[in-house]
């Protein structure tokens, strides 16, 4: 598990209310979404990527649709460099633990995208993996420094 305090990015989130419901603004999709735990995790990660990793908004795609086993699925967030997907992010609600099922879900998505990096987070617990597509191996990573390094390469 990698240490990352996403709470320091909460002040960057933009909230609004309408019709008795609370919304959070997504700077990538340029729209407001109902506040739910998984959405707060996604938006906190987006702020971390934009602010700390200096990743451009145009390099991120939210809810990217892929077909896995003839079923349409949505990937929570994908980071692109020069048009190529490099990092696949899977987010869970705070109260959902990151387990083998979550890892398998992301691995299935990656059969389609074939990215070298995977991040799984519930906003409290964070994991990152390097995927060697040629050797078909997955290696856990100790930090998120690769995100900033990838950004300087592309």
* Model pLDDT for residues 88-133, shown as the tens digit of each residue: 999 999 999 998 888 888 888 888 889 999 999 999 999 999 999 8
Whole-angstrom distance, CA of residue 73 vs CA of residue 15? 27
Range among 58-67, 70-79, 133-142, 144-153 rated most confident: 133-142
CATH topology of domain 6-153: tt1808, chain A (3.90.1570)
Task: Determine the pLDDT at residue 30.
Answer: 96
Given a cut of 80, whether residue 55 has pLDDT beyond it is yes
CA separation for the pair 23, 35 (Å, rounded): 5
Instruction: Look up the pTM and report it.
Output: 0.92
Quote helix, strand, coil % in the chain, to nearest 5.
30, 40, 30
- pLDDT > 60? residue 83: yes
Alpha helices in 27-120 (DSSP H): 37-51, 100-113
Place of tokens 């999709």: 29
Mean pLDDT of the chain, nearest integer = 91
Residue 13 to residue 111: CA distance in whole angstroms:
32
The token pair at 142 is 């100790």
């Amino acid at each position: 598990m990698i240490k990352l305090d996403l709470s320091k990015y909460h002040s960057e989130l933009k909230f609004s209310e309408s019709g008795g419901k609370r919304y959070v603004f997504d700077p990538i999709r340029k729209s407001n979404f109902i506040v739910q735990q998984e959405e707060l995790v996604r938006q906190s990660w987006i702020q971390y990527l934009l602010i700390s990793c200096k990743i451009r908004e145009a390099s991120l795609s939210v809810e990217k649709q892929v077909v896995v086993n003839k079923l349409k699925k949505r990937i929570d967030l994908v980071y692109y460099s020069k048009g190529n997907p490099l990092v696949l992010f899977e987010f869970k609600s705070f109260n959902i633990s990151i387990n083998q099922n979550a890892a398998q879900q992301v691995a299935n998505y990656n059969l389609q995208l074939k990215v070298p990096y995977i991040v799984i987070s519930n906003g409290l617990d964070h994991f990152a993996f390097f995927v060697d597509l040629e050797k078909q191996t997955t290696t856990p990573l100790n930090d998120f420094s690769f995100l900033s390094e990838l950004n300087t390469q592309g």
